[in-house]
A and B are shown apart, each in its own frame.
Chain A
Amino acid sequence: MPQHTISFRIRPDGRVEELVSGISGAGCEQLTERIEARLGNVQQRQPTAEAYQGQAATVNPEQTLSTPVT
């Protein structure tokens, strides 16, 4: 029974960082799309190393764009 997990960090200025991890499937894509419809456009999306290596990997939390909310 696969578990889908999504982690969010909501910055004090309202920027949202999202990390989809584990065995990701359609469920995560749907949730991601639903959230993005309410929040706004994704500024950056990149596959985590896990997607290449087929194993758990840590993601450097500094991989974000720092465009302030205007």
Chain B
Amino acid sequence: MSHFSTVKTELRDREALVAALRDLGHNPSDGEQPVRGYRGQTVLADLAVASPEGSELGFRWNPTSGSYELVTDLDLWKQPIPVERFLAKLTQQYALRSILAASLEEGFQVTEQRQATDGSIELVVSRWDG
């Protein structure tokens, strides 16, 4: 049955999250890493984004929500875009990576992918059964 649905994206899949971070030009580390905060305090992240001065942002797995959450000291935020914009861009890229990976696993092929003028990514996948 045809249906139309809307999903509020959560960062649940580590592989897609790593791929999305790389797409955005970051270098995510594997394994637990300390993320630096104010006055040299650190917090452990399950996945940290490396920078020359050490990691200033990372992601921690939240077992309750079943998703990764950003951990960072906002006073030390050095990314060229505000944190809200950073998270939005990351989430969009994560959604794209997740959908592409899941589509391939289910035997679908990408028949169309384009960037819409409002910043949305439009994607069409198809599969022939015969």
The interface of chain A, by Cβ under 8 A from chain B, is 1-22, 24-25, 27, 30-32, 34-48, 50-51, 59, 63-65, 67, 69
Per-residue interface assignment for chain B, residues 87 to 102, with 1 indicating a CB less than 8 Å from any chain A CB and 0 otherwise: 1111110111011011
A14 touches B128 (CB 8 A): no
**How many pairs, one residue from A and one from B, have CB atoms within 8 Å of each other in the complex?**
175
B108 touches A10 (CB 8 A): no
Q: Which residues of A contact B120 (CB under 8 A)?
A: 9-12
Question: Given that A1-B129, A9-B120, A44-B5 are known contacts, is A35 also in contact with B88, CB under 8 Å in the complex?
Answer: no
Report the separation of the CA atoms of residues A63 and B96 in the bound assembly, to the nearest whole angstrom: 21
Question: Given that A7-B124, A20-B2 are known contacts, is A41 also in contact with B119, CB under 8 Å in the complex?
Answer: no
Residue of A nearest to B122 (CB): A9
B92 touches A8 (CB 8 A): no
Q: Which residues of B contact A45 (CB under 8 A)?
A: 3-5
B6 touches A43 (CB 8 A): yes
CB B12 to nearest CB in A, in angstroms, measures 5
The interface of chain B, by Cβ under 8 A from chain A, is 1-10, 12-13, 16, 67, 87-92, 94-96, 98-99, 101-103, 105-108, 111, 116, 118-130
B1 touches A42 (CB 8 A): no
Report the separation of the CA atoms of residues A55 and B4 in the bound assembly, to the nearest whole angstrom: 16
Interface of B is mostly: mixed
CB A54 to nearest CB in B, in angstroms, measures 11
B119 touches A12 (CB 8 A): yes
Among A25, A37, A67, point to the contact of B8 (Cβ < 8 A): A67
CB A16 to nearest CB in B, in angstroms, measures 4
Among A11, A19, A30, A48, point to the contact of B92 (Cβ < 8 A): A11
Q: A10-B92, A16-B7, A31-B108 are in contact. List 12 more A-B contacts (CB 8 A).
A: A2-B130, A3-B127, A3-B128, A3-B129, A4-B108, A9-B120, A17-B4, A19-B3, A30-B106, A40-B9, A47-B3, A51-B1
